[in-house]
Amino acid sequence: MKDSVIIVSGGLDSITLLYDKASTIALAISFDYGQNHGAKELPFAEYHCHKLGIPHITIPLSFMHQYFKSSLLDGAAAIPEGHYEEENMKSTVVPFRNGIMLAIATGIAESHELKRVYIANHGGDHVIYPDCRPEFISAMNGATEAGTFVNVRVEAPYTNITKADIVRRGAALGIDYSKTWSCYKGSDVHCGKCGTCVERKEAFADAGVNDPTVYEE
């Protein structure tokens, strides 16, 4: 039964969840908030939704680029290099991004009498992103259930697993990961040095799955 909405970026995690839950998804939503890599990742979201026959929309959130402070909104040169566990990677946080997106997706879900909103945060995100942590997902779920007539649920099935686990799941589903985007710099190919690139490399290596990504280095 198609009773859910999914937030899909075009990245590895959300594309895996898209395939994982495809039989239940009535609508996929992407957001263009002025992210450095939007021109690279958003077309992949559209590509996979079209491939699966899932309706897809992209909602512009230009106010975030105008008013929010994050290196993810300030161009490739502003993106630090290194692992997510390093302090400098906190500059890539877009304040309360997932809260804003979940609120919009919930409103759309209720407007279409859909019961669930999927989001693909995972265990590795918890280090620096407060709006990816289990307590955040639990709190948002409480708010969406209480604040809608149809008691919309936020479901984040990857919250307590690793990115390597996600890669294994995607490989089993036959996903072409060359048609996903992670790099925060948004150049022609993945830089291989920013936090998301480092995490992507590690995930494929830990999962024992061939990494089809083209990196600059």
State what percent of residues in the chain have pLDDT above 70.
Answer: 96
* Domain segments of the chain as ranges: 4-207
9 is in an annotated binding site: yes
16 is in an annotated binding site: yes
Q: How confident is the model at residue 83 (pLDDT cuts 50, 70, 90)?
A: low
49 is in an annotated binding site: no
The total of other beta-carbon atoms located within 10 Å of residue 62's CB is 10
8 is in an annotated binding site: yes
The model's pTM: 0.94
4-207: which CATH topology? Rossmann fold (3.40.50)
What is the mean pLDDT of the segment spanning 36-63?
97
> pLDDT tens for residues 89-140?
788 889 999 999 999 999 999 999 999 999 999 977 666 789 999 999 999 9
> pLDDT tens for residues 12-34?
999 999 999 999 999 999 999 99
14 is in an annotated binding site: yes
Report the sign of the C-alpha dihedral through residues 201, 181, 163, 78, in that order: positive
3 state SS of 121: coil
187 is in an annotated binding site: no
71 is in an annotated binding site: no
What is the mean pLDDT of the segment spanning 163-184?
97
Backbone angles phi, psi at 15, to 5 degrees: -70, -40
3 state SS of 127: helix
Q: What pLDDT score was predicted for residue 88?
A: 67
197 is in an annotated binding site: yes
